[in-house]
């Protein structure tokens, strides 16, 4: 019985991981976004002007 | 020009994304934008690009998930009552592992980027600190080797785009004899306020590399036109910038009044270009520039066959 419980836990864990990948994949972060966020954090309020 | 130093700057190509310049030490976690081989913090050769570090962290997290499922499978098999149950647990565990592995392979590129976002977001303080140390390092070599200091600041400027680094770069560039074949920059060096050294640099760039004079530079020059005019070579700088602007019809239309004010000082080739642009599109609204051009043509180039 205990082995089925552990197997159930393994199953739920796997499903949670896959679900997480799936949900994250639906709202992926792209490089432009990361770049923009990094530059804004580093130069916040001190962006180039002209 | 006489006091300017001839220099050879190493070629520089800014990465497509600013984080492409950033590396992190695997040992001590210090960030750097410079291209040193060893970490200045711990002295080890453990610097890796942040993207690679993030991919390795994402891979490690995925491996930990696989390991968890494998351990749970082993535990399930260990506690099985008989051989049939053990076989069933092992088979089910293997299927779970295979499915998880396939899902991870598919999700890997997105997870790598998410790990990069998290790595930078979580360590933004360390990134700032690392870049500040880089800047101090560049400033510290300024007296002995200004070319090296400039090259370092140029690398840091990919990430730090504020006035402080730009001002230091402009000051260093002022001491260099600029050449056409150099990796010159323009828009990255523009400051919020007026800086005579920057105005001089703009004038030199306008003479050497017209293609670098774009919208933001033209707006800067227009904004500080009065201050530039007060400089010793101010009118020449403004004429050079106006000469650069006439390379594109869009700029001529947008900055027609500015060009109009310096049209009389344009060299012949630039004035010819302006004349040809206006003649090709007589129905555009040139905001009086067409009239001004006609007047100058009459006064200076009346007998020139190219202006026919």
Give per-residue pLDDT as tens, B3-30: 788 888 888 888 999 999 999 999 999 9
Closest partner residue to A47 (CB to CB) among B77, B100, B161 is: B161
Distances (CA, A) of B223 to B131, B209, B258: 31, 21, 11
pTM exceeds 0.80, yes or no: yes
Q: Give the span between the Cα atoms of B45 and B28, in whole angstroms.
A: 11
Distance linking the first and last C-alpha atoms of chain B: 38
pLDDT at A47 over 50: no
Question: ipTM of this predicted complex?
Answer: 0.87
Say if B113 is an interface residue toward chain A (CB within 8 Å).
yes
Closest approach of B301 to chain A, Cα-based (Å): 35
pLDDT at B33 over 80: yes
pLDDT at A35 over 70: yes
Closest partner residue to B89 (CB to CB) among A3, A29, A46 is: A3
Q: Which residues neighbour B265 within 8 Å (Cβ) at sequence distance 6 or greater?
A: B235, B236, B238, B239, B242
Q: Do the chains contact at A18 and B100, CB–CB below 8 Å?
A: yes
Residue B1 confidence (pLDDT): 53
Confidence of residue A49 (pLDDT cuts 50, 70, 90): very low
Q: Do the chains contact at B166 and A31, CB–CB below 8 Å?
A: no
Q: Give the span between the Cα atoms of B290 and B130, in whole angstroms.
A: 54
Residue B48 confidence (pLDDT): 96
Q: How many CB contacts within 8 angstroms connect chain A with chain B?
A: 134
Say if B182 is an interface residue toward chain A (CB within 8 Å).
no
Query: Residue A25 in 3-state DSSP?
Result: helix
Strands (E), B33-120: 47-49
């Amino acid at each position: 019985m205990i082995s089925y419980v552990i197997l159930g836990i393994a199953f739920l864990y796997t499903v949670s991981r896959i679900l997480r990948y799936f949900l994250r994949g639906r709202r992926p972060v792209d490089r432009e976004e990361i770049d923009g966020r990094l530059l804004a954090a580093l130069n916040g309020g001190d962006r180039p002007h002209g | 020009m006489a006091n300017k130093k001839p220099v050879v700057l190493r070629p520089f190509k800014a990465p497509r994304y600013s984080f492409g310049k950033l590396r992190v030490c695997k040992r001590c976690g210090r960030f750097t934008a410079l291209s040193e081989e060893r970490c200045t913090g711990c002295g080890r050769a453990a610097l890796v690009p942040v993207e690679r570090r993030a991919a390795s962290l994402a891979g490690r997290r995925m491996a930990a998930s696989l390991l968890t499922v494998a351990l749970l499978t082993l535990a399930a098999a260990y506690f099985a009552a008989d051989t049939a149950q053990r076989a069933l647990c092992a088979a089910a565990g293997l299927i779970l592992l295979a499915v998880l592995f396939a899902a991870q392979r598919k999700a890997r590129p997105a997870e790598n980027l998410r790990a990069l976002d998290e790595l930078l977001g979580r360590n933004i303080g360390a990134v700032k600190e690392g870049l500040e140390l880089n800047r101090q390092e560049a400033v510290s070599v300024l007296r002995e080797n200004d070319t090296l200091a400039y090259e370092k600041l140029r690398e840091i400027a990919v990430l730090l785009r504020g006035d402080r680094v730009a001002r230091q770069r402009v000051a260093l560039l002022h001491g260099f004899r600029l050449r056409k074949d150099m990796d010159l920059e323009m828009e990255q060096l523009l400051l919020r306020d007026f800086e005579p050294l920057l105005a001089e640099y703009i004038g030199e760039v306008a003479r050497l590399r017209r293609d670098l004079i774009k919208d933001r530079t033209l707006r800067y020059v227009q904004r500080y036109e009065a201050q530039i005019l007060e400089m010793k070579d101010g009118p020449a700088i403004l004429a050079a910038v106006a000469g650069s602007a006439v390379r594109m019809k869009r700029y001529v239309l947008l900055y027609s009044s500015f060009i109009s004010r310096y049209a009389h000082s344009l060299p012949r080739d630039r004035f010819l270009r302006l004349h040809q642009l206006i003649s090709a599109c007589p129905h555009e609204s040139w905001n009086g520039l067409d009239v001004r051009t006609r007047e100058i043509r009459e006064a200076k180039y009346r007998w020139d066959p190219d202006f026919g």
